[in-house]
């Protein structure tokens, strides 16, 4: 046994490049397996931290809304609840800061230092225990704000609150954490509660209360009880599970799908490498068996070698996985501080390590068992050791591959929502298997076709090159590897391109306004004031409701909007199942609703179906009148009549304003005017261009990482292609020398090798593109099951770049073996056997 183990380690160290290929494949698979599993928890934590940056550790928040009897309330009644750990009352307001004649809006929070430390600790760049002297008109601002305006500790800053200017001293600069983890949108300023109280004259009352429950507190029961106590005020969860799920979405599932793809690719690479290893080792293994070693011993030796690769690859994969997780989290976190939120779970590292060990052992199992079944006589005489399937098996495999590809194309549209995710992923994996099984038949057919005309185009060397492609296992492996990598790359880029095109199309055709704005207590008189602003041409006020529960549906409506029958279509141009004007008029008659296509699929709804909506004034049935094809609010969108939304939600104030500007007026100027003139109403406004820019950025984040996954798949494929080409050269040294001995020049040899590479690259790219198209037909149904709206927009440029990339990768990888083939020593090479 000692001799066998020594032989195993010696061979591992001798075949350095092949060892590197196998280790890299295992390492990347293990790393992606770990990162894609861990990213779900990390994304939940990032989203939770982002949502909690303002509310800290609190569980419930009480605020006034447009229907509240007074703008301030007494938190004492909440403090009387025994199941609370703390009830912290504060004051919220808005302020304006004027710089170079431009007004900048600040969100103010008045909170005592001790309460902030308990609820949501802030870290200053110059820490001071207990924050002594934090009283009177002093403020804390973020590092980003200080850098933007040049603030320093001790500076005097003039803020306008309710049309009156007040001078504040900058008490400190906060690090980008807690409420000061700003993303460039809202700027915060924290001041003592008493200072803001004296300005707004709250007389000890508050307009926000943060509540944390103790261990015995039941969230739902306490929320319901507080809602009764503070009737007319908004009592809500500080951060709900639904909000977190909305932010995390299908990211983790998408990453897991890519991990499955990369793992399958790695198994194929390892399987191919082990086949070569077994083929090379058969003579030595035969010698071992001839002197007493059993089939079981030699098989265990080969499996042990695979396990050694797995152990080292697993360790490296875990280390790489932590790095990939950090990068993924940093890309998905807008402030780049997510690295501090990563929490490595040891059991997931162990799972990734176990997967890395099991993967090569499983991939090695079939070639090892086949070698064990090879008779000793055949091993010693070097007969019967080919692993190439016969013509009949090739045909059966090809038919099976075509069936798998056909299933991936035909079945998805007929899958129910419940089956779309598990069966969709199964069909996607089956499509990859189909590409692998069909490739040998395509190679033979493609080669025979080329043989008929390539001689007249590229000479006899090209004819030889095409003949060499047939039944060449290494070439077949290269084409298969390239096909899978190209299919993955194409799928990610086409879907990503579809998201970009759909977003661009939406913002260029659907919204017909220039500025979107909102503020507190927007009634008709408020709208009149907005219409009177400089640069404003027209304003459409709309009633809105968010997160509406649909009874017995297992879900809800993200955004429900009320449509004005006369003006709504002047601001929105939607593609509907019938004439838009007809459907908007239709929802004015009784209680009817228009659903987005995504909600149609989510609720399995048809025209005429009834949905029971949980609205403020009770559970009310609405009849489905039609459907809207729109990505608005990620497709989670519905329309009812303005009158019904106002009545059923008891709304006295509008939820959103859509503003058209005068010709030639910069929408950003209107945004600034709105925020300045209505500073007392907690204004928030953005131009349409800014909204489009932010949406594009958010959409790009997920696909940036998925593109990274596909690049990793391409990278390990390229390494394996290089390895196979080198092996192919070594195995063909004698035949290449024979060509040289009968008169082929070095140039002709190089030409033949390069034509082989080019043709192989062309076939690999074409097969990969076909496989990618099949995958693209499956993935939208998987994403639809995850409530993700994807519309495919094919791009000729992406197809062309993908094809060229596949050919170039193979040709460039062939430069080394082509160079070596031209430098062969004919006599020495002919002797080799």
Most confident of the ranges 295-309, 529-543, 711-725: 529-543
Asked if the model's pLDDT at residue 338 lies above 60, the reply is no
Q: Which of 666, 693, 720 is the last residue of a domain?
A: 693
Using one digit for the tens of pLDDT, what is the confidence trace for 453-471? Answer: 887 777 777 888 788 777 6
Q: Is residue 586 part of a domain?
A: yes
pTM: 0.70
pLDDT score, position 728: 73
Higher per-residue pLDDT: 303 or 137: 137
Please compute the mean of the pLDDT values over residues 798-805 and round it to a whole number: 88
Using one digit for the tens of pLDDT, what is the confidence trace for 612-662? Answer: 999 888 899 999 999 999 988 888 999 999 999 999 988 888 999 999 999
708 and 676 belong to one structural domain: no
Q: Which two tokens stand for residue 778?
A: 């499956």
pLDDT score, position 701: 64
Q: Is residue 329 part of a domain?
A: no
Please compute the mean of the pLDDT values over residues 140-158 and round it to a whole number: 92
Asked if the model's pLDDT at residue 233 lies above 80, the reply is yes
672 and 737 belong to one structural domain: no
> SS3 letters for 776-829?
HHHHHHHHHHCCCCCCCCCCHHHHHHHHHHHHHHHHHHCHHHHHHHHCCCHHHH
Q: Which of 443, 183, 614 is nearest to 451 (CA)?
A: 443
783 and 821 belong to one structural domain: yes
For the ranges 48-57, 238-247, 510-519, 775-784, which has the lowest average pLDDT?
238-247
CA atoms of 663 and 674, how far apart (whole Å):
18
558 and 497 belong to one structural domain: no
Number of C-alpha atoms within 13 angstroms, CB side, residue 587?
30
Q: Calculate the alpha carbon distances from 267 to 310, 465, 481, 718 in Å.
A: 12, 29, 11, 15
Higher per-residue pLDDT: 558 or 382: 558
Q: Report, in this order, helix, strand and coil percent for the chain, each rounded to 5.
A: 60, 15, 25
Please compute the mean of the pLDDT values over residues 187-200 and round it to a whole number: 93
Q: Is residue 223 part of a domain?
A: no
Please compute the mean of the pLDDT values over residues 387-411 and round it to a whole number: 80
The DSSP annotation for 589-643 comes to TTTEEEEEHHHHHHHT--TT-EEEEEETTEEEEEEEEEEEE--GGGG-EEEEEHH
Q: Which of 660, 693, 726 is the last residue of a domain?
A: 693
Q: Calculate the alpha carbon distances from 356 to 22, 23, 662 in Å.
A: 11, 10, 63
Q: What are phi and psi of 519, to 5 degrees?
A: -160, 170
Give the torsion sign (CA, 370, 376, 380, 382): negative
555 and 679 belong to one structural domain: yes
Q: Is residue 78 part of a domain?
A: yes
DSSP 93: E
Give the torsion sign (CA, 509, 512, 513, 514): positive
Higher per-residue pLDDT: 51 or 87: 87
Asked if the model's pLDDT at residue 681 lies above 60, the reply is yes
> Could you tell me the strand order of the sheet in which 536-542 lies?
536-542, 656-661, 515-518, 684-687
Using one digit for the tens of pLDDT, what is the confidence trace for 556-576? Answer: 898 999 999 999 999 999 999
Q: How confident is the model at residue 207 (pLDDT cuts 50, 70, 90)?
A: very high
**Residue 817 sits in which domain range?**
442-508+694-833
CA atoms of 171 and 391, how far apart (whole Å):
82
Asked if the model's pLDDT at residue 143 lies above 80, the reply is yes
Using one digit for the tens of pLDDT, what is the confidence trace for 544-558? Answer: 998 898 987 767 898
Q: Is residue 449 part of a domain?
A: yes
Left (φ > 0), alpha (ψ -120 to 50) or beta: where does 649 sit? Answer: alpha
pLDDT score, position 390: 53
Asked if the model's pLDDT at residue 596 lies above 90, the reply is yes
Asked if the model's pLDDT at residue 293 lies above 90, the reply is no
Q: What are phi and psi of 624, to 5 degrees?
A: -70, 120
552 and 453 belong to one structural domain: no
Asked if the model's pLDDT at residue 391 lies above 70, the reply is no
- 8 Å CB contact between 177 and 337: yes
Most confident of the ranges 120-129, 461-470, 510-519: 510-519
Q: Which two tokens stand for residue 267?
A: 């198994």
Using one digit for the tens of pLDDT, what is the confidence trace for 711-722? Answer: 776 777 777 777
Q: Is residue 179 part of a domain?
A: yes
Q: Which of 693, 709, 729 is the last residue of a domain?
A: 693
Tell me how far apart the 2 most distant CA atoms of the chain are, in Å. Answer: 105
Asked if the model's pLDDT at residue 785 lies above 90, the reply is no
Q: How confident is the model at residue 250 (pLDDT cuts 50, 70, 90)?
A: low
- 8 Å CB contact between 404 and 431: yes
Left (φ > 0), alpha (ψ -120 to 50) or beta: where does 812 sit? Answer: alpha
Asked if the model's pLDDT at residue 388 lies above 80, the reply is no
516 and 477 belong to one structural domain: no
Higher per-residue pLDDT: 275 or 412: 412
- 8 Å CB contact between 645 and 562: yes
Q: Is residue 654 part of a domain?
A: yes
Asked if the model's pLDDT at residue 439 lies above 60, the reply is yes
Higher per-residue pLDDT: 830 or 340: 830
Higher per-residue pLDDT: 716 or 581: 581
Q: Which of 603, 601, 542 is nearest to 570 (CA)?
A: 542
Q: Which of 250, 696, 268 is nearest to 478 (CA)?
A: 268
Q: How confident is the model at residue 667 (pLDDT cuts 50, 70, 90)?
A: very high
Helix (H) or strand (E) holding 146: helix 143-149
- 8 Å CB contact between 528 and 516: no
Asked if the model's pLDDT at residue 377 lies above 70, the reply is no
515-518 and 656-661 beta bridge pairing:
antiparallel
Left (φ > 0), alpha (ψ -120 to 50) or beta: where does 64 sit? Answer: beta
670 and 525 belong to one structural domain: yes
Q: How confident is the model at residue 239 (pLDDT cuts 50, 70, 90)?
A: confident
- 8 Å CB contact between 728 and 475: yes
Q: In residues, how long is the chain? A: 833
Helix (H) or strand (E) holding 181: none
672 and 700 belong to one structural domain: no
- 8 Å CB contact between 385 and 282: yes
555-563 and 637-641 beta bridge pairing:
parallel
User: Within a 10 A sphere around the Cβ of 786, how many other Cβ atoms?
Assistant: 16
Most confident of the ranges 302-306, 411-415, 739-743: 411-415
Please compute the mean of the pLDDT values over residues 63-85 and round it to a whole number: 88
Which residues have C-beta within 8 Å of that of residue 547, sequence separation ≥ 6?
A: 242, 556, 557, 558
Using one digit for the tens of pLDDT, what is the confidence trace for 599-622? Answer: 998 888 999 999 999 988 889 999
- 8 Å CB contact between 654 and 541: yes
Helix (H) or strand (E) holding 103: strand 102-110
User: Within a 10 A sphere around the Cβ of 605, how many other Cβ atoms?
Assistant: 18
Q: Is residue 606 part of a domain?
A: yes
pLDDT score, position 461: 78
Q: Calculate the alpha carbon distances from 699 to 13, 89, 574, 643 in Å.
A: 46, 37, 21, 34
Number of C-alpha atoms within 13 angstroms, CB side, residue 156?
3
Q: Which of 471, 464, 268, 443 is nearest to 386 (CA)?
A: 471
491 and 571 belong to one structural domain: no
User: Within a 10 A sphere around the Cβ of 491, how many other Cβ atoms?
Assistant: 27
648 and 698 belong to one structural domain: no
Q: How confident is the model at residue 334 (pLDDT cuts 50, 70, 90)?
A: low
pLDDT score, position 832: 46
Higher per-residue pLDDT: 191 or 741: 191
Cα end-to-end span (Å), the chain: 29
463 and 602 belong to one structural domain: no
Please compute the mean of the pLDDT values over residues 120-140 and round it to a whole number: 88
Count the domains in the chain: 3
Asked if the model's pLDDT at residue 132 lies above 60, the reply is yes
Asked if the model's pLDDT at residue 821 lies above 80, the reply is no
Asked if the model's pLDDT at residue 425 lies above 50, the reply is yes
Please compute the mean of the pLDDT values over residues 783-802 and round it to a whole number: 80
Using one digit for the tens of pLDDT, what is the confidence trace for 258-288? Answer: 667 666 766 776 666 666 677 666 777 777 7
pLDDT score, position 833: 47
């Amino acid at each position: 046994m000692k001799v066998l183990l020594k032989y195993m380690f010696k061979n591992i160290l001798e075949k350095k490049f092949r060892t590197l290929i196998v280790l890299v494949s295992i390492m990347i698979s293990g790393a992606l397996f770990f990162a894609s599993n861990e990213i779900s928890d990390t994304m939940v934590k990032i989203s939770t931290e982002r949502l909690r940056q303002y509310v800290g550790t609190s569980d419930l928040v009480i605020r006034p809304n447009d229907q509240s009897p007074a703008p301030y309330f007494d938190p004492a009644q909440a403090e009387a609840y025994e199941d609370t750990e703390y009830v912290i009352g504060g004051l919220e307001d808005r302020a304006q800061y004027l710089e170079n004649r431009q007004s900048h809006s600040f969100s103010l929070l008045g909170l005592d230092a001790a309460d902030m430390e308990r609820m949501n600790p802030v870290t200053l760049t110059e820490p001071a225990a207990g924050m002594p002297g934090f009283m009177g008109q002093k403020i804390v601002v973020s590092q980003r704000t200080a850098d933007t305006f040049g603030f320093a500790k001790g500076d005097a800053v003039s803020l306008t609150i309710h049309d009156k200017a007040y001078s504040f001293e900058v008490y400190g600069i906060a690090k980008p954490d807690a409420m000061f983890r700003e993303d460039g949108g809202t700027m915060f300023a924290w001041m003592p509660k008493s200072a803001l109280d004296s300005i707004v004259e709250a007389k000890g009352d508050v307009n926000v209360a943060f509540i944390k429950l103790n261990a015995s507190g039941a969230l739902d029961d306490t929320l319901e009880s507080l809602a009764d106590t503070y009737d007319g005020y908004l009592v809500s969860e500080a951060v709900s599970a639904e909000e977190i799920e909305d932010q995390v979405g299908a990211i983790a599932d998408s990453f897991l799908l890519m991990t499955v793809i990369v793992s399958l690719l790695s198994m194929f690479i390892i399987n191919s490498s082990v086949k070569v290893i077994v083929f090379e080792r058969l003579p030595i293994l035969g010698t071992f068996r001839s002197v007493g070693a059993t089939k079981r011993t030699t098989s265990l030796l080969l499996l042990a070698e695979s396990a050694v690769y797995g152990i080292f690859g697993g360790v490296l994969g875990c280390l790489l996985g932590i790095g990939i997780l950090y990068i993924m989290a940093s890309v998905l976190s807008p402030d780049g501080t997510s690295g501090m939120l990563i929490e490595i779970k040891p059991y997931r590292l162990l799972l990734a390590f176990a997967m890395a060990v099991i993967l090569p052992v499983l991939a090695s199992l079939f070639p090892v068992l086949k070698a064990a079944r090879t008779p000793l006589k055949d091993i010693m005489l070097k007969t019967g050791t080919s692993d190439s399937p016969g013509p009949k098996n090739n045909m059966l495999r090809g038919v099976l591959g075509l069936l798998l590809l056909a299933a991936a194309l035909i079945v998805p549209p007929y899958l129910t929502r419940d089956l779309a995710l598990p069966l969709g992923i199964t069909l996607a994996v089956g499509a990859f298997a189909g590409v692998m099984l069909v490739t040998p038949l395509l190679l033979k057919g493609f080669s025979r076709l080329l043989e008929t005309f390539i001689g007249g185009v590229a000479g006899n060397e090209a004819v030889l090159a095409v003949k060499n492609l047939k039944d060449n296992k290494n070439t077949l492996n290269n084409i298969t590897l390239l096909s899978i990598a190209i299919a993955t790359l194409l799928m990610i880029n086409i879907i990503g391109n579809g998201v970009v095109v759909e977003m661009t199309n939406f913002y260029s055709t659907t919204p017909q306004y220039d500025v979107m704005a909102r503020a507190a207590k927007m009634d008709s008189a408020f709208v009149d004031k907005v219409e009177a602003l400089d640069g404003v041409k027209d304003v459409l006020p709309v009633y809105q409701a968010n997160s509406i529960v649909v009874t017995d549906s297992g879900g809800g409506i993200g955004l429900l909007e009320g449509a004005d029958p006369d003006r709504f279509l002047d601001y929105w141009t939607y593609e509907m199942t019938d004439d838009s004007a007809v459907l908007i008029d239709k929802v004015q008659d009784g209680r009817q609703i228009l659903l987005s296509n995504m909600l149609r699929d989510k609720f399995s709804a048809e025209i005429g179906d009834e949905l029971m909506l949980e609205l403020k004034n009770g559970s009310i049935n609405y009849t489905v009148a039609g459907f809207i094809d729109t990505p608005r609010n990620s497709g989670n969108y519905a329309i009812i009549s303005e009158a019904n939304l106002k009545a059923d939600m008891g709304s006295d104030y509008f939820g959103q304003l859509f503003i058209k500007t005068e010709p030639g007026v910069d929408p950003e100027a209107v945004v600034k005017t709105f925020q300045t003139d209505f500073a007392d109403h907690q204004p928030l406004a953005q131009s349409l261009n800014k909204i489009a820019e932010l949406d594009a950025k958010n959409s790009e984040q997920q696909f940036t990482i998925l593109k990274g996954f596909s690049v990793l798949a391409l990278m390990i494929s390229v390494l394996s292609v290089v390895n196979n080409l080198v092996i192919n050269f070594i195995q063909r040294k004698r035949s290449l020398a024979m060509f040289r001995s009968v008169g082929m020049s070095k140039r002709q040899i190089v030409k033949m090798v390069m034509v082989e590479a080019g043709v192989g690259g062309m076939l690999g790219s074409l097969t990969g593109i076909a496989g990618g198209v099949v995958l693209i037909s499956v993935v939208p149904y998987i994403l639809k099951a995850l409530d993700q709206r994807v519309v495919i927009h094919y791009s000729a440029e992406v197809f062309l770049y993908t094809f060229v990339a596949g050919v170039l990768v193979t040709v460039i990888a062939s430069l080394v073996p082509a160079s070596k083939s031209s430098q062969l020593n004919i006599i020495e090479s002919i002797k080799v056997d």
